Amino acid sequence: MGQSERVTEHRTPAQVLATAARAAGLAPSVHNTQPWLWRVHRDRLDLYAQRDRQLKLADPDGRLLTISCGAALHHARVALAAEGWQSLVEPLPSPADPDHLATIRLGEHAGAAAEAVRRFQLAQVRRTDRRPLANTPVPDAALAAIRAAVEAERAHLHLLRPEQVAELALAASRADELAETDERQWAELAHWVGGPRPGTGVPAETIPTQPPRTTVPERDFGRAGTLAVSDNGDRAATYGVIFGEVDAPPDWLAAGQALSAAWLAATERGIALLPFSSPVEVPATRTVLRHLLAGIGHPFLALRLGVPDPDRPGPPHTPRLAPSETVEIVDAADAD
C-alpha cells in the first residue's frame, strides 16, 4: 500500500485531505475574499483560484488572489502536519489551466510533532489587528524567527530602515489617493467592507472607529468601523516587505505561503502582524517599494510588526464562508 493510500485512525486519505481543506478556510486573504476552491479526490487535493471572488479592479493580474490562495495552501499543509502527514505539493500542475494553483498528495505519516500541533493551534487564534501598538520594540529574536519562516517558503523579507519607512508611508498615502479618484475601484472596495458580513469581507467590528495614529497610514476603507482604538501610535513598530526574485504566479503562491508562515511565527511570539496590500496594487507605488529593495526583487506585500496593546483584548475574528462554498468533493464519497 502506498503512503498516499494509508489509513490512520480509520480515516481514508480523502477524509484526511477534506479535513485539511476545511481547515484552510482559516487562512488570511485580501479583504477576506477567500478566493479559493478546493477539490477533494481519493488521492489528492486540488487548489483552484475562485475568480468570482477576485478584486477585478484593484487586482487585475490576480497577484493578491494568488497570494491569498498561497496562504490557504500553507494552512492546509499546517493542518496535515498537525495530523502527522507530510504534504507533497506540486505548484501550478496544469500549464493549460492557470486557475489550477496546486495539488497536494499525502506523503509519509510519521505522527504529529508537538510543534506541528502548536502551529495548527496558532492558525485557529491568528487574527488581523488594525489598532495602534504598544510602545515596545519587537525583539530581535522574534524578527529573526519571522524572517526564517518567510525564507523557508522560498520568499524573502526585507526589514525597512527608518528612512525607508517614511517612503513606504508616502507610497501607502499615494495608493489611497489614487484609489479614491477611481469611482469603480472605490465601489469595489465598498462591496467588501463594513456592515454585517455573511461570510466574506471586512466587518465593521474589525475596522477602527477612527484612523489610527500610525507612521504608515492604514488603508482608508471609506467608512468608520466600531473597533475602539487608543491614542497610541506605532513608534516601536517594525515594517518590512515580502518579496521574490520573479514577479510571476509561482512566486505569488510562494509569497502567500510565506505570509501565512510569518503570521503564525509572529502569533506564537505575541507579535501582531498587519499586511499592507494597497502599495502593491498600484504600479506607481509598487515601483516605490521595488526601489526600497534596491531593485533586486519584486515586492508582494508590506508588513507591520509590533507588540499589541496589552490593555486591550484582541479584536474579533473575521467571518468565514461555510466549507460547502470552498470545498468540493469530486470523486471521494467517503470524504464527508
Q: What is the pLDDT of residues 219-265, one digit of tens each?
A: 999 889 999 988 887 889 999 999 999 999 999 999 999 999 999 99
Q: Which pLDDT band, with edges at 50, 70 and 90, does 1 fall under?
A: very low
As given in the structure block, the three cell numbers for residue 171 are 507610497
What does pLDDT average to over the chain?
A: 93
CA 122 – CA 65 distance, rounded (Å): 23
Share of the chain above pLDDT 90, in %: 85
pLDDT score of 335: 65
CA 6 – CA 224 distance, rounded (Å): 51
Rg (CA), the chain: 19
pLDDT score of 233: 78
The SS3 assignment for 157 reads: strand
Torsion 222-300-85-111 (CA) sign: negative
pLDDT score of 314: 82
